[in-house]
Structure 1
Amino acid sequence: MTMTASPVLDSAIAKARARLLPFLILMYVLAFIDRANVGFAKNVLQADTGLSDAAFAFGAGIFFVGYAVFEVPSNLLMYRFGARVWMSRIMVTWGIVSACTALVHDATSFYVLRTLLGIAEAGFFPGIILFLSNWFPAKTRSQTMGMFYFGFPLALLLGSPVSGLLLDAGNPFGMHPWQWLFIVEGIAASVVGVVAYFYLTDWPAQANWLDAAQREALDDALRHEDRQKLAHGPASVLAALGDARVLFCAVIYFAVQMSVYGVVFYLPTRIAGLASGGHVGVEVGLLTAIPWIAAIAGTFCITRIADHHGHHRTWAAAMLTLAALGIGASALTSSVVLAIAAFCIAAIGFVCVQPLFWTLPTGYLGGAAAAGGIALINSIGNLGGFVAPNLKGLAEHFTGWPQAGMFSLAVVGLIGALLLLMFRFEPRVSVSASASTSTSHGTGGLGERTGH
């Protein structure tokens, strides 16, 4: 079925993007800063608390255990209560826990607070993916998710120099700079969480900032997609959790996240070791921002090309391969310039692959099945964030070769790319004007379109 252009639908999508995406990107920026700022604080945190490298790696990764365990329940609660309520709850609680990381004084307190941070943030990312799939039709989903993913590089583009600046502070209010870092960035997340309650709109049918024709066109298009998803995908949460395609996607996403967090946790210290003798401050923060500028440009271009030409799975595999090559190349040079160039290649690859990847499961998961399936994929995938730093450390320990860690992560990325090429299900959802106008209007009909 081919896509028929609809000026009213296109205007509704454009208005929804302008209204929702900047705020969602801000939320993602703060989420990622609070998740990854431990990488910037690594050296001074270890120096002040006596954490070993092994303890830091375990604590950095244990975040993802709590995150994974509570991911599916959290996303089902968001489906029940709506994004406005649940996203606000998530952001307020994770901001509080992140600020409390300033209280870390030994390995045990570090493990406890990192676990609690994972529990507090559980459901945020799959909730956003579900929210976007409830707002934007398949024909623009890669571009829309790509724009949301700008939050990933923006978090490190903006967060890197800000974190460096906070770490270069003296001893504000008698605290260590790393304590100030966690407090400031945690409070910022909680404040935005409060605003989210008043700003977000759960469903297009509830959006009084769209005119009546736009609400109807967007709601009809999404209803039509929901019907196709129910016809071709699992119809319940339990069916989604046991669906072979969902589980295969989870394995692929695990490999993607291994590549992502293996770089994110160690990029600042890698650049610091080459550029400033190990000190992570403003200079290193600015240098590590360069790969994220490249990632924004790459994601902007690649997702549009993929939406125009299709073949999202092939594009995703190519981008994950690019990420793996960049990760491997970053371990082979002692030049700051070449290392940054390699990280640029890696960043373009592993940022681009994610919105492309999410078009696969969101192409056939709808309703409560989408809430459960997306959360399961994300929860299993994000365990890669726990495994990555530990795999890196083990590879270096057993081989005695400092580059072995990054090469092991590069190999995982190549395996993920191969699995993407093996994934044969392509989204079959499309929108036509005739189908859209044949659906029922208003807020009746499918439960997932009624709001909560």
Structure 2
Amino acid sequence: MEPSEGAIGERTIRRISLRLMPLLMLMYLIAYIDRQNISFAKLQMVGDLGLSEAAFGLGAGLFFIGYFLFEVPSNLILEKVGSRIWFTRIMATWGLITILLGFTSGPVMFYILRFLLGVAEAGFFPGVLYALTLWFPQSHRGRMIGWFMIASAIANAVGAAIGGVLLDLDGLLGFRGWEWVFLATGVPALLLAVVVFLILPDRPQKAAWLPEEEKRWLDETLARERASQPGVPHENPLKVLLDRRVVLLALLYVAFPLAAYGLSYWLPTVVKGFGVSNTVNGFLNIIPWIVVAFALWWVPRHSAKTGETTWHIAGSALLAAAMLVASTIVPGAALKFSCLCIAAAAIFAGQPVFWSLPPTFLSGATAAAGIAAINSVGNLGGFVAQTVVPAIRDWTGSDLAPMLFLAACLGVATLLVFVVQGLLGRRAKAVPEPVALRR
């Protein structure tokens, strides 16, 4: 690359990052709060609605069924109509349903609204991952995904802080504390939907703030990448769902949402066992997510610097499994909590590197369908976490015994990383160099 081209590239990436990433991160922050507010509402909601832990877990987990069923169709629609309109629709509907959850009058209404919340949000996370393939070259995507996912750590920290405070508003204006949790966290999504509609470009070519020479540099760079990478020659993008690489990536990814939701679902309950108030519980739950944010910043940067991906994914999963097991063995609340903090960071740390893999062999509508399929199947781990994990707790009477189940799932994921990477490597070598690039 010529020096001038390098300067253009750096300027383009910097401009896009500053313009695009803060908005995407804010969107994900609100989405994650609206998805995770259930963990604090649970502390009062179970008694008010007369639910067992397992029954409540089933209702919470129905979110992921709706998410699973509508993820691929949602992403294909996004690829057709563009990010601006579709992200606006997603945010407006999930904000409205979150507010309605504050008026839940019984188990059936709770189950229906949690399912509809999954339907409403389906396509957001994979939609952003697909959008990033339009805005950033491969070498930058891992770091951008890391920055994007830092919003989930901030959301858990903010959600933990405000969740406890909102619960302590119990009785204000006649609302229970858990009702305030849903009402106060649903409104921001509705407000941000208007902002997204007004300022989010569908793609680089429609960004008025991106100069023409930078648009050309980005188009040419992405075109060269597509020409040099092995593609998926499916005319029908839905056929990518049968691609062995996509299937294996989806199965591998299951362990990460399973462990993440299992841990975040139980952290408030575990900390409650320390004998603290709701507000103190909320602020203590900020600590793990500060550690997660640092890991999401450092691990993708280190992976990009070294060019290594396998151990950045597998090592993170293995460390998370070890810390979850340790949390059930070490004595004392402080040590147990420390292990869970490290486990949370490790669960998230390898995910940005993982999400840099699908675009190495997927593009266009095929990428939209493939990324959505991997995310939708993987997020069934969230359903397992919020149904099986509470059931294990009911059977054992322990808040920490479910951690052993999560650790086992992460151990299996560690092995699958090497299988998947071996398959991707063999496929890449088997694809001949494009004729246009031969010399």
Provide TM-score, normalisation by structure 1: 0.90
**1:407 counterpart = 2:439:** no
Name the CA shift for 1:99/1:331 in 2 (closer, same or farther; >3 Å): farther
- Deviation (angstroms), 1:410: 0.7
- Give secondary structure in 1 for the equivalent of 2:285: helix
Q: 1:153 to 1:4 in 2, by over 3 A?
A: farther
Equivalent AA in structure 2 for residue 413 of structure 1: L
In the alignment, the residues of structure 2 paired with residue 35 and residue 332 of structure 1 have an alpha-carbon distance, to the nearest angstrom, of: 30
Matching of residue 374 in structure 1 with residue 402 in structure 2: no
- Aligned-pair distance for 1:27? 0.6
Residues 404-448 of structure 1 deviation map (CA, whole Å, 9 limit, x = unaligned): 31101110011111101211215969xxxxx9xx9xxxxxxxxxx
Unaligned runs of 5+ in 1: 430-434, 439-452
Determine the C-alpha separation between the residues in 1 that align with 2:356 and 2:331: 38
Change (3 A) 1:129 1:162: same
**TM-aligned CA deviation for residue 396 of structure 1:** 4.3
Kept in 1, the 8 Å contact 2:270–2:399? The answer is no
Q: Give how far 1:13 is off.
A: 0.7
CA distance in 2, matches of 1:326, 1:218: 42
Q: Structure 1 residue aligned with 2:329, among 324, 328, 332?
A: 332
- Superposed displacement of residue 340, structure 1: 2.4
Q: Residue type of the partner of 1:165?
A: V
Partners of 1:56 and 1:99 in 2: CA distance:
19
Change (3 A) 1:4 1:244: farther
Identify which of 262, 279, 301 aligns with 2:298.
301
The superposition leaves residues 218-263 of structure 1 with CA deviations (integer Å, 9 ceiling, x where unpaired) of 122122223344x433444133111100000000111111111110
Which one-letter code corresponds to 1:172 in the other structure?
L
Please give the alpha-carbon distance, in whole angstroms, between the structure 1 residues aligned to 2:381 and 2:304. Answer: 28
Taking the aligned partners of 1:181 and 1:70, their CA distance within structure 2 comes to 26
For 1:258, the equivalent position in structure 2 comes to 258
Q: CA deviation at 1:173?
A: 2.2
How many angstroms apart in 2 are the aligned matches of 1:381 and 1:93? Answer: 23
Give the equivalent residue in structure 1 for 2:152.
Answer: 152
1:188 shift after superposition: 0.7
Match of 1:248 in 2: 248
Q: Confirm or deny: 8 A CA contact 1:327 1:409 kept in the other structure.
A: yes
Q: Aligned Cα RMSD in Å? A: 2.2
**Alpha carbons 1:234, 1:240 under 8 Å: kept:** no
- 1:319-398 correspondence runs (5 A): 319-333=316-330, 335-397=332-394
**Percent identity between the two aligned chains:** 38
Q: Deviations over 1:373-413 (max 9, x none)?
A: 01110110000000123222344455666543110111001
Write out per-residue CA displacement over residues 17-58 of structure 1, whole angstroms, 9 at most, x where no aligned residue.
Answer: 111111111111111111111001111111222121111110
Residue of structure 1 aligned with 2:282, choices 273, 285, 291: 285
Match of 1:418 among 415, 419, 430: 415
Partners of 1:367 and 1:210 in 2: CA distance: 22
What are the superposed Cα offsets for residues 136-180 of structure 1, whole Å, 9 maximum, x if unpaired? 111111111101010110001111111111111142321112111
Q: Distance in 1 between matches of 2:400 and 2:91?
A: 37
Write the distance in 2 (CA, Å) between the matches of 1:363 and 1:4. Answer: 27
d(CA) in 2 for partners of 1:173 and 1:401?
36
5+ residue gaps, structure 2, are: none
- SS of equivalent residue, structure 1 residue 233: coil
- 1:270-320: CA deviations, max 9, x gaps? 1111242xx5x2211111110111111122111111011112122111111
Distance change >3 Å, CA 332–CA 199, structure 1 → 2: farther
Q: CA deviation at 1:334?
A: 5.6
Aligned partner letter, 1:132: L
TM-score by length of 2: 0.92
Other structure's SS at 1:70 match:
helix
Residue in structure 1 matched with residue 116 of structure 2 by the alignment: 116
After superposition, the C-alpha distances for 1:350-387 in whole angstroms (9 at most, x for unaligned) are: 11121111011122110000010011101100000001
Give the secondary-structure state (helix, strand or coil) at the position aligned to 1:265: helix
Indicate if the aligned counterparts of 1:363 and 1:428 stay in contact, CA closer than 8 A: no
Residue pair 1:205, 1:216 contacting (<8 A) in 2 also: no
Amino acid in the other structure paired with 1:421 = F
CA distance in 2, matches of 1:405, 1:420: 23
Does the Cα contact within 8 Å between 1:313 and 1:360 map onto a contact in 2? no
1:448 aligned residue = none
The answer to whether the 8 Å contact 1:298/1:348 transfers is: yes
The CA distance in 2 between the partners of 1:11 and 1:359, in whole Å, is 22
What amino acid does structure 2 have at the position aligned with 1:21?
Answer: M
Distance in 2 of aligned mates of 1:168 and 1:332: 33
Task: Single out whichever of 41-50 and 137-146 deviates more from structure 2.
Answer: 41-50
